[in-house]
Structure 1
Amino acid sequence: MTLISFYVNFFITLFALIDPIGNVPIFAAATQSQSPASRRLISLYISIFTALILTVFFFAGLSILKFFGISMDAFRIAGGLLLFLMGLEMARGDFIETFTRADEVAHGGDPASGVQPLGHREKAKNAFEKLVVPFAFPLMVGPGTISTVVIQAGEAQKLGLLGLATGVAAICTTAFAVLLTLLFANSISRIFGRVGMVVVVRVLGLILCALSVQIIISSVSQITHNLILPSAAHPYESGTHHR
């Protein structure tokens, strides 16, 4: 494998797994109460976080899991549980309400509690703290992405130092693509409006709950040596349907 083919394959795989385009409606709903400047900062924070966590796992991911005695399947199950909790909040309508408090404080503060209005940077930091888990991790950067990074790190080592540098370049390019994608969330929010975003988020929440359950079922199936029916663990793979 050449450096160019490694870079292209790594970047395309990461971008497909992170799927920032598919996560734009969720990001738009979570930040619809933020100013354009705050949204840009939040997008920057998330892209930087993505680059940092992928780089860490690229160089030390397998060692970290081994140090704590965590298998990849256990990691996937934990990620699935976090995604389920997020999907449940989205489906119940609690997801958007979580981010309205920052908007209220930003427009005059809270005289009863003595809270002062926040600036764009403070608003962005507060919103990012709520979004980093479980939106940035593990919704965008999930167990599948991390396991792929760990596997690709092994391929990069075969190419030497240039291979490792190429891997980091692919990660940084992916993070930049995430940044560009999230910057368009403002336009998405304006197109759908508040009512439309509520509907989209609730539907996506239901889908996310189902996705998280599927992740858990697949991981449990691996752990229990296919005690769970293969058709349930991998419903759309060839050869798993009932005849």
Structure 2
Amino acid sequence: MADDIRFLGSVFVTLFVIMDPPGTIPLFLSLTSGRTTALRRRVAWQASSTALLVIAAFALFGQQLLDYLGITLPALQCSGGLLLLLVALELLTGNDSEPSVQRDTNVALVPLGTPLLAGPGAIVATMVFVRQVHTWERGVFLALGVVLVHLVLWLTMRYSVGIIKVIKESGVLLVTRISGLLLSAIAVQMVANAVRAFISAG
């Protein structure tokens, strides 16, 4: 039991650091700018649920799917980085010319649910933990760790709505630009790591 508890702690801490719930607050506020409080709360629930489903799917079938399609983990990481870079450019340049498109787009699925939350890092980490599961008890603790992290993610985004009342929409605009800059750096780093992995494999 003690080993299983340590395993649970390892799963929770690792995924918490990778998925970074506090770090999702500025991105969540930026991507849901201009939406109502009720819609923001729904987006928070949908994004965390989407991330959980993606992580669960890769935990169960990820390695088989990648092997079947002939996709390597660096390729998955590179594609995720390129998608994040596109999102970062939108945050940096703004969508003021097309506000209706921004409001009607369901950001809970892409890019919030994936690849921001359920990104290559979280997927790979989960697949590594799956390889350490040899009993059903450990499998339960793995599932519990994954669910707990996503619960924290949902609570973080759910109550970040209150921040809007403090910083107002002008503050969100400032946060949006800063988030775009940080997200672009994260995206470039993901692509660079993937390129290094490709070179090492070659």
**More contact order relative to length (CA 8 Å, sep ≥ 6):** 2
In proportion to residue count, which structure has more helix? 2
Counterpart of 2:111, as a letter, is: P
Distance 1:182 1:99 in 2: 22
Q: Secondary structure at the match of 1:34?
A: coil
Q: CA deviation at 1:208?
A: 1.3
Gaps of 5+ in 2: none
Shift of 1:23: 1.2
How far did 1:205 drift?
0.6
Cα deviation for residue 97 of structure 1 reads 6.9
Q: Which has the greater radius of gyration?
A: 1
Counterpart CA distance in 2 for 1:41 and 1:174 is: 18
Q: Among 164, 168, 178, which residue is 1:203 paired with? A: 178
C-alpha distance in structure 1 between counterparts of 2:169 and 2:73, whole Å:
39
Q: Distance in 1 between matches of 2:108 and 2:48?
A: 12
User: Structure 2 CA distance, aligned partners of 1:138 and 1:174?
Assistant: 16
User: Do the aligned partners of 1:30 and 1:99 also contact (CA within 8 Å) in 2?
Assistant: no
- Alpha-carbon offset, residue 216 of structure 1: 0.9
Q: Distance in 2 between matches of 1:147 and 1:97?
A: 38
Give, in whole Å, the separation in 1 of the partners of 2:159 and 2:86: 26
TM-score, normalising length: structure 2: 0.90
Secondary structure in structure 2 of the residue aligned to 1:2: helix
**1:102 shift after superposition:** 7.2
Q: Match of 1:118?
A: none
Displacement of 1:196 in angstroms is 1.5
Map residues 154-193 of structure 1 onto 2, 5 A cutoff: 154-156=131-133, 158=134, 160-193=135-168
Cα RMSD of the aligned pairs, angstroms, is 2.1
| TM-score normalised by length of structure 1 | 0.76
- For residue 117 of structure 2, the aligned residue among 140, 146, 160 is 140
* 1:171-194 Cα distance to aligned partner (Å, 9 max, x none): 111111111111122122222211
Q: Distance in 2 between matches of 1:150 and 1:226?
A: 19
Residue type of the partner of 1:22? G
Residue in 1 aligned with 2:4?
3
Q: Say if 1:168 and 1:98 are closer, same or farther in 2 by CA, change over 3 A.
A: farther
Secondary structure of the corresponding residue to residue 148 of structure 1: helix
Query: Counterparts of 2:58 and 2:110 in 1: how far apart (Å)?
Result: 17
Shift of 1:41: 1.8
Q: CA deviation at 1:5?
A: 0.7
Q: CA deviation at 1:80?
A: 0.5
CA distance in 2, matches of 1:217, 1:32: 30
Q: Summarize deviations over 1:30-85 as a string: whole Å, max 9, x none.
A: 22322222222221111211221111111111111111100000010000000100
